[in-house]
Structure 1
Amino acid sequence: MTIAPALAPLVARTVAISDPGPLLSLLPPGPGLSWVRRGEGLVGWGEAMRITGEGETRFGSVARTWAETARHAVVRDEVRLPGTGPVAFGSFAFSAGSPAGGVLIVPEVVVGFRGDTWWLTTISADGALPAPVALTSYERELTAPQDTQFVPGALDPQEWKAAVAEAIGRIGAGEVEKVVLARDVLAHTVDDVDPRDLLARLATGYPNCWTFSVDGLIGATPEMLVKLERGLVTSRVLAGTIRRTQNDEQDLALAASLARSSKDLEEHEYAVRSVAEALAPHCTTTNVPDSPFVLHLPNVMHLATDVTGVLADGATSLDLAAALHPSAAVCGTPTPAAAKLIESVEGMDRGRYAGPVGWVDAAGDGEWGIALRCAALTDENPRRLRLFAGCGIVAGSDPEAELAESEAKLLPIRGALSR
């Protein structure tokens, strides 16, 4: 079901402002929205409007309602950059069968920063001009939670390795070429988790990732599913991973071995191909580099490829995210068969893990990452979080090695929740 826009149009005003301090420090207590990388991006709070969708139509119904809302919005935009004017932050379930569905949240206040430009957008859903807003910095010393307990989720490590082994066997039998299996871990904290502290620790530890918060899903993703800006389409594909040692010389050797690994190159090729094929119908031209580069993150290194294109059909960033989801990087190849294999062996509902997360503006421009390196926090229990990690499984995979890779991918969010 989709919540329709209010009878009165959205009214939004964007003005340029002077530097108010780090974006994440501006978030007040309570549910907040963020999309920040290297100090730039967007944060928002309050809720002028919420649009939800379910099942197979979760993308299409939400996108149509947002397009209709944006079309009738009354906008005064003195900055005119992507991300100014009315903006909606969104998050979508990985699977059509998940009750998590999809959501777009239009905040009452948005603060943005890009290059040397700061802006403030205020949004009202009652047809009236929004009241002025005074910004406050809530920056404070961060202290990580103490005595956090981590326990297995749907499958314990041995059970998950058995699921990986089964997937390898079914790959050998020809059911799929690649499948991505995820696992979850539950975190129990002594004190209530303040999402702002979690975001700040992730942004500090992983500045090259997109630190996000949408409707209780919090994380720092290294993977840009799609970015649309004034007709230029970009997608960053990550597939093929190796854990870092924190020794520069050893890490360089590992990066070289990753770049030559037939298993990882095969996994990466599947992911790149799925993205290029999904973008092709929407673009006049698509550029795919001949070989990947190695992306260095604090905890792991990935094979990475940036696919670009020129938009041809007027699709919005949300439309493109829907067309790309799920890519081989988070599902497998062939996608329908891989999705069925995930349902049969993974043993859990991913919720919005590995689904698109990001933002869209009234013009359709926006940025959508894949919700990785993240945790789900519920209002019902602010001391319980669900953490996720996934690994691409191909014929040459080893269950023990895949478990180790999943542990490495859990480090960002796990480290943000413990000393």
Structure 2
Amino acid sequence: MKEFKGVEYIKIAVANAFGLDKELFEDRIKWVDSKDMQALHGLVDDADEPAIYKAALFALEDAYAGRPSGFMVGLDACSSGVQIMGALMNCKVTCESTGLIDPNRRADIYTDVTDVMNTKLAKLGMHFTAARKGVKEALMTHFYGSKMKPKEIFGEDTQELATFYESLKVVAPGAVVAMQHLMDAWQPYALKHEWVLPDGFHAVCPVLEAEDIRIRVDELDGTSFTHRVDLNQGTETGLSIAANVIHSIDALLVREMSRRCNYDEYVLEACLTGIDAYFEEQGYPMPASSNSREFVSLRWAELLVTGEHAYCDFEDELPELVRLIELTLAHKAFPVVCVHDEFKCHANNMNHLRQHYMTMFQQLADSNLLEDILGQIHGTNYRITPMGSVSHAIGNSNYFLS
């Protein structure tokens, strides 16, 4: 992962707010450097996000003057849902399409699918040209289980719709496979689907069906109205489970980011001391590495220190927990603001934030998290064949956050 100075991250924030977030980091910095401050201020009205652009310019002026600034730089994940599916499936192609692998390319999966789709349609002699905006809306909703939105955009039973789905298999094959596993996890007529995330968060998703009820008010001369209510009743099939599972993993990453950036030093130090004492008591050294495929959460440190769990409960994962704690303690704690898949922090801390994000996705790729969640939903062991091995390649990337 390429690192940048704090002032360079502020320049990246300026360029991002202007609308250059799909350019390489170096090109965004050069764009800012090519203009004096007066010229940059003159472009406020042309910026995609004028308020953030203006705030970033003020922060840049502070940096140039050597004044402390509380400005927080925010970087967005590149298609976070598909990104997560790509890592879980260890799919090299999907990871490349979402910025997780190629260090020299700012990935844009929506443009990639649009280009593949238009190439296929042209070969078929079709005069239809797909627009990125429509492809983006169809893609985002498709990977959360929607069938209606792609039909609205490309038509029902059309060549355009078929080509859209074919293009997804080219650009994000791992996400397509993951989607099928998720959609197949729907439990017919179950009142809810539930699973526990690695940090102990219990996801409970009731199955709700909308029903219209006619209400008559005799006191108003028989006036009536329709009231729509959501009833908790099972259905034979459903679509929401794909979005719910991926959103729950997305939320796990947000919680983990907060733990790893804005940590409690005393808890982590106490956990390291406790782990040393545990293996000394066992009479054998801690293994150099872990063979477990569990996604290790930093919350485990708190659970161990408070006694909610015993060290023997996590013995196979303790080497990985030590690695994560040491990686976290390598920098001072700092505040972060996470808004879904946007991560904000002070510019001087952004290298650490990016490192943690990259590490979490390496963990996803090395873990059996999707198997574990689907096994909980199905109530039986569940196995998924990885499509490759991408953990090492993720460690060399730059544009997982942009």
Q: What TM-score, normalized to structure 2?
A: 0.27
Q: Which has the higher helix share?
A: 2
* Richer in strand (by share): 1
What TM-score do the two structures reach when normalised by structure 1? 0.26
